[in-house]
Amino acid sequence: MTEQQPLLKMQGITKEYFGNRVLTDVSLDLNRGEVLGLVGENGAGKSTLMNILFGMSVIVQTGGYAGKVYIDGKEVSFQNPFDALKAGIGMVHQEFSLIPGFTATENILLNGEILHDNIVTKLFGPRLKTLDLPEMRAIAAKSIELLGVEISPDTLVAEMPVGHRQFTELAREIHRPEMKVLVLDEPTAVLTESEAEVLLTSLRRLAATGIAIIFITHRLQEILDICDRIVILRDGQVVKEVATRDTDIGQVAELMVGRSVDTKAIATATYDTQQETVLTVGHLWVDMPGETVRDVSFEVHKGEIFGIGGLAGQGKLGIPNGIMGLCPAGGTVILHGKPIHLDDPAAALAAGMAFVSEDRRGVGLLMEEPLDWNIAFTAMQVQNKFLRPLLGGLIKWRDDRAIRKVTREYIEALEIKCTGVEQPAQELSGGNQQKVCLAKAFAVEPDLLFVSEPTRGIDVGAKALVLKALRRYNSENGTTIVMVSSELEELRSICDRIAIIDEGRVAGILPPAATAKEFGMLMIGKLKNLDDKVASHA
């Protein structure tokens, strides 16, 4: 009977990468209309499992997998994503796979366009069929509506804020009528809390129509809110499969990391307002696409951890990118009394600032190069570290031994999971890549460290490690840290003061002990009339 048969059944899945076993005998079932939560730390094998289900080429290229996948009781083995799409599996990736220059409609119906014959097709074949744009727009609008968000079907993806891109990607998957299983890999990681709420609501609506959903996220509360069952992976094995009503967030988190999690372990250091001012930012503007900064002024004191929060697209990410010279910027930035020349990354680095970018893959890492290069490169180029002068300093020879030594130290200190210093950065999982980015910044030994979205796409265990590493670095070396994050709780757990950015301006600066309501009001711009008060506070 089909009623008894699960829609999707994965049995005994085992997979090795480069000699590392990443999945061991993983089995799971999924029924129609069910939402299954898949949780696990970075590197636990969630992404790999989903890549197998979706027939991603990286699986085939690295030698395939062992075990069986059944859909509606029939065994399937997808060689490429097209097979998977045909079988009704849709996937929304951690990284966007949208075409920036196309509109929402064009992206949603890509390769599934509504076509009409015309005179030319009679002569030259089906490649020249006409697009039925009104119809396509209607379909796109319908599937966007199903998600419960407001996105114009004619907006270019390049001009959308990150959250809308995520919805566009989701709309593309659900517009297809044959859709049976929808896989969501960290769909809320780039969304603000309110957007995530909307997404969860629309997912529940989708599940009610009979679509089965596999939901991967690090935000455990979301899993508990929406899923019927939870499968917990640890080190490539299923440690527990449990119905949501029989568990709670503490238990899931504990099973996930295999040790008890205590977020309170991150002690808030006492911060001394009498300390000298390290960084003064005055009337900063930054032209960063999607994150425009209009007029931001603030001061950072020596040894503090200064948080910058706010909703997506309001400009909080533009601040570090502008100060570090990565985006066109203007205004005054004064570090230790000396003005910093903007639009020049070398000057910013030479002045003793370092930056961990929110764009790990794009800016943060040399994906093809080994870890030692990734970690030592900036320090080498900016401060002439890890170099041996030859011929009286005429030639600066790269000291590979020193580079490997420092890399090993950071691998140990930050618990980076890798096969060695020679492993290319692209083979690491997201959380470990983030640790490499941190190590790169630490290797510069900066006076002032900018950290942008340090825990985006990272699980609970690694998150605590990253935050702890930042806190430790702050207290041991007296390094001043400016941390930009979308996750308010994270800012509140580590920062001494938190500035909230709204519409490219500082809406207010609050102590971490302020209530969630106060922060919320600043984020949604309700405290505009208190600007004067805020200015005097800053």
Q: Which residues form the interface with other proteins (CB under 8 A)?
A: 324, 326, 345-350, 355, 357, 359, 362-369, 373, 377-378, 380-382, 384, 387, 395-398, 400
Tell me the HSE value of 105 on the side-chain side, using a 13 A CA sphere.
Answer: 17
Burial classification of residue 368, based on how many CB atoms lie within 10 Å of its CB (0-12 exposed, 13-18 middle, 19 or more buried)? exposed
Measured from the CB of residue 365, what is the shortest distance to other proteins in angstroms? 7
Q: How many C-beta neighbours within 10 Å does residue 11 have? A: 14
Closest CA to 109 of 134, 79, 84, 88: 134
Among the residues of 415-457, which ranges form H helices? 430-443
- CB nearer other proteins, residue 116 or residue 401: 401
What is the Cα–Cα distance from 456 to 458, expressed in whole angstroms? Answer: 6
CB of 47 to other proteins, least distance (A): 17
Contacts of 412 (CB under 8 A, 6+ apart): none
Of 244 and 374, CB closest to other proteins: 374
**Which one, 144 or 327, has the nearer CB to other proteins?**
327
Nearer to other proteins, 450 or 519 (CB): 450
DSSP secondary structure string for all residues of 379-401: HHHHH-TTEEEETTTTEEEE-HH
Give dist(CA 274, CA 405) in Å, integer: 39
Burial class (CB in 10 A: 0-12, 13-18, 19+), 503: middle
Least Å distance, CB 380 to other proteins, is 6
What minimum distance in Å lies between the beta carbon of 418 and other proteins? 18
Q: Which CB, 37 or 325, lies closer to other proteins?
A: 325
Residue 135 Cβ vs other proteins, minimum distance, rounded to whole Å: 35
CB of 396 to other proteins, least distance (A): 4
**Distance from chain centroid for Cα 348:** 25
Q: Would you call 518 helix, strand, or coil by DSSP?
A: helix
Give me 212's structure tokens.
């089965």
CB of 164 to other proteins, least distance (A): 24
In this complex, which beta carbon is closest to other proteins, that of residue 102 or of residue 377?
377
Q: Are strands 212-216 and 181-185 parallel, antiparallel or unpaired?
A: parallel
To 5 degrees, how large is the angle CA 345–CA 426–CA 483?
45
Phi, then psi, of 383 in degrees rounded to 5: -115, 5
Looking at the Cβ atoms of 48 and 105, the one nearer to other proteins is 48
Place of tokens 């790169």: 440
Burial class (CB in 10 A: 0-12, 13-18, 19+), 401: exposed
Nearest distance from C-beta of residue 326 to other proteins, angstroms: 6
Q: How far is the CB of 357 from other proteins (least distance, A)?
A: 6
* Whole-angstrom distance, CA of residue 190 vs CA of residue 198: 13
State in angstroms the smallest separation of the CB of 345 from other proteins.
Answer: 5
Least distance in angstroms from the C-beta of 368 to other proteins: 5
Q: What backbone torsions phi and psi does residue 517 show, to the nearest 5 degrees? A: -65, -40
The 10 Å Cβ neighbour count of residue 289 is 9
**CB-wise, 68 or 385, nearer to other proteins?**
385
Q: How far is the CB of 324 from other proteins (least distance, A)?
A: 7
CA distance 308 to 522: 12
Q: Which is nearer to other proteins, 199 or 326 (CB)?
A: 326
Which of 58/110 has CB closer to other proteins? 58
- Measured from the CB atom, the residue of 224 and 347 that comes closer to other proteins is 347
Other residues' Cβ atoms within 10 Å of the Cβ of residue 86? 11
Locate 7 and state its tokens: 């829609």
Closest to other proteins by CB, 140 vs 443, is 443
Least distance (Å) from other proteins to the CB of residue 440? 9
Q: Which is nearer to other proteins, 196 or 326 (CB)?
A: 326
What is the DSSP secondary structure assignment for residue 99, as one 8-state letter? -
Residue 390 C-beta: closest distance to other proteins, Å: 9
Contacts of 200 (CB under 8 A, 6+ apart): 188, 222, 225, 226
| CA distances (Å), origin 6, targets 34, 231, 259, 348, 369 | 10, 16, 33, 57, 43
Comparison of 141 and 324: residue with beta carbon closer to other proteins: 324
